Amino acid sequence: MVFHMKKYLSWLSIVPFFAIILLLAAFFNFKSNQASTIDNRKLTELPQLKGLKAEKVNTFTDSVTAYISDRIGFRNDMIHAYTVGNDKLFGIMTHPNYSYGRNGYVYPSIKPKSLDDDFLDAFAVFIKKAQDYCDERDIPFVFELDPSKLTVYPEHLPAGVEIKNDRGELLIKKLDALGARSFDAAPLLKEAKKETPVFSVKYDSVHWNDTGAFITISKLMEELGKYDGRIQPPDVNDYSLIPERHKQIVEESDFPIDETVIMYVPKEETVADLPEKMDYAEELGRYTSHTYLDFSVSNKEDAPVILCFTGSYFNRKAKFIAPQFARTYFIRAYGNVVNMEYYINLFHPDMVVIETAEHATTTDYYPQALLLSKKFNPNYKSLAALPKEEFTSLDLSGIKTEKGKAVTRLEIPIKAEDISYVYGLINGYYLDANINGEVLELTIDHSDVNADSSLELILISKQEDKQQSIILNI
């Protein structure tokens, strides 16, 4: 009888254990390109076993462990329960994105980060390349670096915690050494906090508050105003400062807080979503893990057009920028900014801004390999005098055309060994085409096309000593 009872009890403990394992496995997330709202990051992808070298076995097993940990069933629910439980019972913050400081302050997760000098070099060189590309086309360009809460409010860090957070300063020095124009918002916000909070105590602790955004964007508008006098800083009198109570640390999270923050609400609606916004959202070729965009149109039809490659600091902050411009295009920077010319082709901006937070200046956000390999086309004007001569052939029967509601995408087989650069000319606009292996890629905005439009492809030889023109009907 005792034996049977022990056996029964053993089964009673084993069955629920395996049931839980099966349940977690049943809801395992196998999808690729997945992001977690609770971590605000891309989830680990399944590592590839093919071609694995012996010296990489430990890295592979670590990647497998991270993959399983990231994608196990009910992961977010378990993290939430553990985080809230520790907060309520012990006053301990165990959230993957946040840490408690002193005086009630909540910070982004406090973890030491290496400076990663090689990445910062690659990033600075890319920013200079982007600036040169815009300068050659007479497009005013500004790079803005926004500080983390750790940088602006180090005095509220937990007792005994000291973090030397000089990543932003080092990046600015590298940019200065290259002759890249940059705007470092850290000194501005450190000074402004003496008069008013520029980050909330708890709410949305990864980002500045509306006041911090207003102060910084005002300075950005001053910088842009040097190129076009029509651009002025936003006027605080155009906004109602509304107290807004928040019960969650961010809208996407259910981690409880209770904090009232000041929101800037435009008194007059002068800006609306661009009518084609959703068509662009479906059709633009963007870096798959970062697809945020915000396109708007104002009542100032004759104002400039601005293209902003932004980090999440600019989420919901177009209200401080868009009223100054005829059209405002916000694209998530990260992997997308490497294809900057693709968006310039489409939107013909009068000004370009690249904005990023200092904590995002890592290869996780801006893949270092893409930064290093990027090569922009020179301005066609510098090659326009080359003699015209046929030096290659295109298989026009192999053209692939994908026509959407907002854009048309062309793929044309080429002999890449013959060609250094390709340009498109349509209705007076010169477009920079992309060479991807043996395929020429070009995306055209439908606003540039009419019933009589034809596309002139201009091919530059590998030796950059001649050009060839081909006319396509689109």
pLDDT digits (tens, 9 = 90+) for 248-305: 776 665 668 889 999 999 999 999 999 999 999 999 987 777 888 999 999 999 999 9
Segments of 122-255 assigned E as strands: 141-146, 182-184, 239-248
In this prediction, residue 397 carries a pLDDT of 85
In this prediction, residue 344 carries a pLDDT of 97
Phi, psi (deg, nearest 5) at residue 377: -65, 140
In this prediction, residue 114 carries a pLDDT of 75
In this prediction, residue 306 carries a pLDDT of 98
**CA 338 → CA 140, 252, 266, 365, 472, distances in Å?**
18, 28, 33, 12, 28
Give the integer Cα–Cα distance in Å for 444 and 337: 18
CB within 8 Å of 290: residues ≥ 6 apart: 332, 333, 334, 335, 336
In this prediction, residue 77 carries a pLDDT of 61
In this prediction, residue 227 carries a pLDDT of 96
By C-alpha distance, which of 104, 181, 101 is closest to 148? Answer: 101
In this prediction, residue 90 carries a pLDDT of 46
Residues of the chain with pLDDT under 50: 3, 55, 87, 90
Enter the pTM of the model. Answer: 0.82
In this prediction, residue 36 carries a pLDDT of 59
Look up residue 143 and give its DSSP letter. Answer: E
Phi, psi (deg, nearest 5) at residue 137: -105, 15
Cβ atoms 265, 242 nearer than 8 A:
yes
In this prediction, residue 58 carries a pLDDT of 56
CB within 8 Å of 6: residues ≥ 6 apart: none
Domains of the chain: 25-100 (no CATH), 106-373 (no CATH), 380-473 (2.60.40.2450)
